[in-house]
Structure 1
């Protein structure tokens, strides 16, 4: 594998609205990110991905962009972004922006011009179709529920396509003029000094044609079908992705990480191989392993064995080919410690266990804001507390399926995206040090127990342990092995054990006891050195007794 500048790094995702507010308006901002750069540097972060902070009506919290060239005044100014890029460079840190180009906002000037002149050039930037027999052009369901088609205001039978929210019209990538505009924008930001992009919902850019009358089999009582079926049926997306790579990323030596779901084994080399469309892509296999097409009410629990098996399968498929980006949570997922650790087992030790399992896999680790202190899911007491449009839709699905309001709330609470969007818990003062105003989304009430200030003083805290993990990744003694070494499962069929080797210049054995009960294991080779553990390991000769949720890294 060709070595790249980003492979030895540690990445961190910031959801700017909830990171740090310096204006006192309850909304995080770019100045807040600048203020915390030294904190991130001390944590061991090199690459910072910032979720969208462009001008937006926030129908989908910034993923509906009204101007790709303008920072939203809520978050600051273009000058603030330039200062952030400059201050990051002083610390040998890199900034990634979010590239949201499957769709834009219906308030973008392109869409406004398209609607104003249906026969003009901007109409070809989007998808407009006539209805069929008095209803929508086809039966696809949007990601947020309801039809993917919305009637154009002032018309009798003309609809526009939106795979997501109705305020997020899909962009027509078949139009070369539209692609030129996108590439111009990407290169404009790369020339400004950003290091690359996280690429949002990118598999959706290739549609199946004709759109009108192209129905899929109905899969719910609403008479609609999941629009994701389009992704498996569409062909030719590589033409678009390869063109974007060659026109934008390659000339700038930029890093790109794709939001890619349900990829086939054959697609992995195309996406992240030696000449892949992206530098890397996120590993969603574990989170998706219990999902249901029927909705959250039908989704299962990701058990310890399911989590381990999903991670091991990804490592098996990806490692000969390219570099995966590992996560346990992001802005679209619930908190990882609440999702992957059984509720009755949740503890600081279990949080450190999960951190070890993520950070020791082969790939580029992405830490999501607050993950480093073990932030947890919130407990919703009313649906009125919810901001996330996806959660609100799934709540209605639950009610339609016959669940009570109390049951529906409990179901969506586990999966809600708002879990990851509550403000970062900086200290135990009012509003957790996030803002002097009223936070846009209520804080998790546990912030007085779980916060950065408290954990910075505690050498045994979750935060201190994350710092040890990032330092280990960069330690010259182990860096080659941890970054580039092979990933080899160990005792992969053992119930609730997650254990594996990293083999390179050294041989590391990572042992994780994914349960409360202790267990004794026979070590496969003599121990040369205890590298790191979340407890005091008990090793006698070739035997080790693993306590509950022990994570121990040995050189053997």
Structure 2
């Protein structure tokens, strides 16, 4: 709680905005003070500087540990340490002021140690964070977290950094983010959580397969979904599969703002109307950006409500559930579901994927549409892989282009990447792409392929 010392009591202590729109401060008349909520008004930020608060949170974690949970995901945990002095933030973006605060690493170490969860899986969601801090959060010597979610790769379609201003995904920027975080975490001994989808994001298959993308997209839908799976599952880190991703669920494309439940979406719909946007334009933007895009019921079958419930679900199912569902894909050799099962199996089977180093390639003139990288084993790990008949090197190529394109691959030192003679182990087409001389390769629309050297 903060008293407004230097301002009138009717004015919030700072200009910080909450993540869902509007002021991050709420007046509490009984106490005559303001309380901070960086997210919803029903979610007050706790005062981690208070030892009694930290002790209570240790008790919460211990309770669930003793109940037998396997691990913990800590929501926006890098916002727990606030600055000593609260000041206005440029543009009202308070998260940049409170993210990765002065005592955050101290508080996390204390929580993990005192709650006795150092040997359990721990992952932290990080808002407006930095690579340097995330190395510290996850390096084993820090004794804080096993891995982190960062969201920089999911802001590549924010025009001017604004989630509610649409633009096509900037794939060159996406590649840059993946390289910076992949190679940077590797160099610092940190560890990434790899993901496209979660409960706060629109569906990646709609996002990167053509703006909007609500509904069933035919062959491009399948190619995009499999390409996205390959792209992250072979990177260094731990991949996460969000419910429905493995069958290719899409944004629902609701017809009315009344169909949405998400408080952020409803708030920003009103804000966009106040700014002069038409209801149709505001609804289109919400349809591409809403957190509800990832919160529709799991599509189990073609039955009513996608087989999720015989009652009335809290939100409508996506309209393509009769074609995109688990029952339709179970056992179908070319289905998204069976493809994802192969992804999981290969990651467990190939030590070059679980243990190899990572480095990213330049793709020449197509660098703005193609992401290419390699995983490689060295030393004793490579010797052991060879002895077991396993690959020692894997090259991963992913095209985000809806048209055929030629990529010319160069390693960081400028040398051509030799692809001839490599073996295809997985792809979203039935055969390997055409490989030319001097690192050139012809990629088909939304093609992804994994080539290995044994």
- TM-score class, shorter: 0.7 to 0.9
Q: Contact 2:208–2:400 at 8 Å: present in 1 too?
A: no
Q: Secondary structure at the match of 1:296?
A: coil
Which residue is equivalent to 1:339?
A: 207
1:43-192 residue pairs with structure 2 within 5 A?
127-130=1-4, 132-135=7-10, 136-154=12-30, 157-192=32-67
Q: Contact 1:486–1:503 at 8 Å: present in 2 too?
A: yes
Q: Contact 2:80–2:101 at 8 Å: present in 1 too?
A: no
Matched, 1:554 2:447: no
Q: Secondary structure at the match of 2:48?
A: coil
Mapped partners of 1:314, 1:190: distance in 2:
31
Task: Give 1:439 shift.
Answer: 0.7
Which residue is equivalent to 2:386?
A: none
Matched, 1:426 2:300: yes
Q: Secondary structure at the match of 1:275?
A: helix
Task: Give 1:181 shift.
Answer: 1.1
Matched, 1:531 2:428: no
Task: Give 1:407 shift.
Answer: 0.8
1:298-337 residue pairs with structure 2 within 5 A?
298-320=165-187, 321-337=189-205
Change (3 A) 1:550 1:249: farther
Task: Give 1:339 shift.
Answer: 1.2
Higher RCO (CA-CA < 8 Å; seq separation 6+)? 1
Task: Give 1:297 shift.
Answer: 3.4
Select between 422-431 and 193-202 the one with higher mean Cα deviation: 193-202
Task: Give 1:299 shift.
Answer: 4.7
Mapped partners of 2:443, 2:167: distance in 1:
28
Report the aligned-residue RMSD: 2.3
- How many residue pairs were aligned? 417
Task: Give 1:232 shift.
Answer: 5.1
Structure 2 residue aligned with 1:199, among 63, 74, 78? 74
Mapped partners of 2:435, 2:283: distance in 1:
51
Can you give the 5+ residue segments of structure 2 that lack an aligned partner in the other structure? 383-391, 409-416
Can you give the 5+ residue segments of structure 1 that lack an aligned partner in the other structure? 1-126, 220-224
Which residue is equivalent to 1:273?
A: 139
1:411-490 residue pairs with structure 2 within 5 A?
411-475=285-349, 478=350, 480-490=351-361
Mapped partners of 2:45, 2:196: distance in 1:
29
Change (3 A) 1:358 1:170: same
Mapped partners of 1:287, 1:303: distance in 2:
10
Q: Secondary structure at the match of 1:555?
A: strand
Q: Deviations over 1:71-94 (max 9, x none)?
A: xxxxxxxxxxxxxxxxxxxxxxxx
Q: Contact 1:283–1:314 at 8 Å: present in 2 too?
A: no
Which residue is equivalent to 1:262?
A: 128
Q: Secondary structure at the match of 2:39?
A: coil
Task: Give 1:293 shift.
Answer: 7.3
Mapped partners of 1:349, 1:159: distance in 2:
51
Q: Secondary structure at the match of 1:380?
A: coil
Mapped partners of 2:72, 2:280: distance in 1:
40
**Normalised TM-score (structure 1):** 0.71
Mapped partners of 2:280, 2:104: distance in 1:
43
Change (3 A) 1:177 1:232: closer
**Normalised TM-score (structure 2):** 0.86
Mapped partners of 1:507, 1:471: distance in 2:
18
Which residue is equivalent to 1:499?
A: 372
Mapped partners of 2:407, 2:23: distance in 1:
54
Task: Give 1:526 shift.
Answer: 3.5
Q: Deviations over 1:240-263 (max 9, x none)?
A: 112112223555x01111111333
